[in-house]
Amino acid sequence: MYVCRFAAKYKDDESMSVKLFLVTVVVVLSLAGCANLGVEPWQRSVLAKPEMQLISDPLSAGLDDHIYFSKEASSGGRGFAGGGCGCN
Amino acid sequence: MKPKKIRHALTAATCGLLGVNSSDSLGEEGDWSFDSAVLYYSEVDRVTAVEPVISATRDFGEERALNLKFVFDTLSGASANGATPSDQPQTFTRPSGKGAYTAAAEETPLDDTFRDNRFALSSQWEQPINRDYKTAFGINFSTEYDYSSLSANANLSRDFNKRNTTLNTGLSLAYDTVNPEGNIPIGLSSMIIDNGQANYRSEFNATREDSEENKDILDLIFGLTQVIDRKTIMQVSYSFSDVSGYLTDPFKIVSVVGDDGRPLEYRYEQRPDARQKQSLYWQVKRQFETDILDLSYRYFWDDWGITSHTIDLRYRWILDGRHYLEPHIRYYDQSEADFYRRFLIQGESLPDHVSADYRLGNMQALTVGMRYGMALRNEQELSLRLEYYLQSNDNTESVIPGILNDVELYPDVEAIIVQLGFKF
């Protein structure tokens, strides 16, 4: 697992290790808890709509990411933090 | 031209670029779908960008798909160079060393040199391995006058629980190159101003080193998507980004001021040559009757001392079957980088790293806007987005000398965003 490899690589940085541990716990617990959630395949009519996709408009999302990457110090989250511009 | 003809023309153009024959390989008409937009971004008195983009997707069946995206930016206007305003006009050397630009008394110094075009091309291929595992691979390339970037990414996802739970992991590697006109300034060196001295050019050249610098970017993302019920889906993800190389902005400077607050010299900024960024992201999407709520939160932190919170809320208000309005609000709050300084005071020892780029300072930003969408025939959609963006910075300097108390050290940045979109 990448998480474990990174936890090992940055084991000197305690805060990072703690955060990574918490993330791992949340993911594992979520996965266990998630078994009780969800719908049957024939109940997906709403979820299958294009406007219900998590990124329903990839073009706008890409343009927004480019604006905020250029104008703020944070990036990434819903996708790769990326780069790719000199950005004034 | 009718949409069907446009689609035919674009299909032929796309195939031409791919080097394939459209009549042989594309199968039935309608296999390609297109999404296009033109973005207009304009800051008051500063940068203006116009950005047309077109994305073409071909569904090859069995969840295999190819996406190609072309983006073209034109940028013009002025950008804050980092120097403080003064009660006197100020003169700065252009990055190329050829000529100068001035800032009037009490005005935020803006470098109006830059004008750029950027072209970006990205491609993505989705390929399932079996019923539960899917992969995606992408390549991105972008180039502008003094900057180029090449990246490749790979994603793997695994479905569980009747496809109600999806785990995904992604890796992206990028290599960026910057080669500004006038070469790379030596970090922390003093800007040479041309006052008519005979040896100006050699003095300027002494502040320059290499003609180009690079940076490597490694991005990792781990995500969990969960269907909650028939109308609700949720996602959490963790991202890690490791950037190393030249992370300084070669166009930014820092004022060194005297006890009276007036500038004595300007130093080229210098940032660390490595940065590790991390973020936790959560998003939920829920349909109420017909309307759709989209809410997300991101917590971001890095080893430059920056932490930030981003909250984004959209509500798609369905007016009838064909029209919708989507109000949008986004709030962003960031703490400053450890080496951010609005100015340096003469006599203090020069730090190893310093930047006065307001984008690394304590900042809050608000975006408010509205989108209108209209469904047309044949699954086509027209949309118009109008947004207002406001950035405000806070002071964190403990001592503000002399005249700097009477000038605007932290001006707000305001921008409007207009986007026209057409899916066909």
Instruction: Give me the interface pTM, i.e. the ipTM.
Output: 0.91
| All residues at 6 or more sequence positions from B272 whose CB lies less than 8 Å from its CB, including other chains | B247, B304, B339, B353
Tell me the chain B residues in contact with residue A85 when contact means C-beta distances shorter than 8 Å. 118, 142, 144, 147, 149
Q: Is residue A43 part of a domain?
A: no
- Per-residue pLDDT tens for B278-330? 999 999 999 998 999 999 999 999 999 999 999 999 999 999 889 999 999 99
pLDDT at B387: 98
Cβ separation A72–B47 shorter than 8 A: no
Cβ separation B220–A6 shorter than 8 A: yes
Domain that holds residue A16: 2-35+49-71
Give Cα separations from B44 to A72, B256, B367, B390, B391 (angstroms): 17, 27, 15, 10, 12
pLDDT-based confidence at residue A37 (cuts at 50, 70, 90): confident
CA distance A52 to chain B (A): 7
Is the pLDDT at A33 greater than 70? The verdict is: no
pLDDT-based confidence at residue A1 (cuts at 50, 70, 90): very low
Q: Is residue A29 part of a domain?
A: yes
What kind and span of H or E run contains B35?
strand B32-43
pLDDT-based confidence at residue A22 (cuts at 50, 70, 90): confident
* Greater pLDDT, A19 or A1: A19
With a cut of 70, list the residues of chain B below it in pLDDT: 1-30
CB atoms within 10 A of CB A48: 8
pLDDT at A88: 54
E strands present in A1-88: none
Q: Is residue A76 part of a domain?
A: no
pLDDT at B31: 81
Q: Is residue A44 part of a domain?
A: no
Sheet of B344-345: strand order equals: B263-268, B253-257, B344-345
pLDDT at A18: 66
For strands B100-103 and B110-111, give the pairing.
unpaired
Specify whether the CB–CB gap between B399 and B347 falls below 8 A. Answer: no
Interatomic CA distance for residues B242 and B388, integer angstroms: 32
pLDDT at B21: 43
pLDDT at B1: 44
Q: Is residue A53 part of a domain?
A: yes
Q: Tell me which of B158, B173, B218, B221 to substitute to probe the interface with A (most A C-beta atoms closer than 10 Å).
A: B221
Architecture of domain B3-423 in this structure: Beta Barrel (2.40)
Specify whether the CB–CB gap between B92 and B109 falls below 8 A. Answer: yes
Interatomic CA distance for residues B254 and B109, integer angstroms: 11
For strands B90-93 and B116-128, give the pairing.
unpaired
Task: State the total domains in chain A.
Answer: 1
Report the percent of chain A where pLDDT is more than 90.
42
In sequence order, the β-bridge partners of residue B189 are none
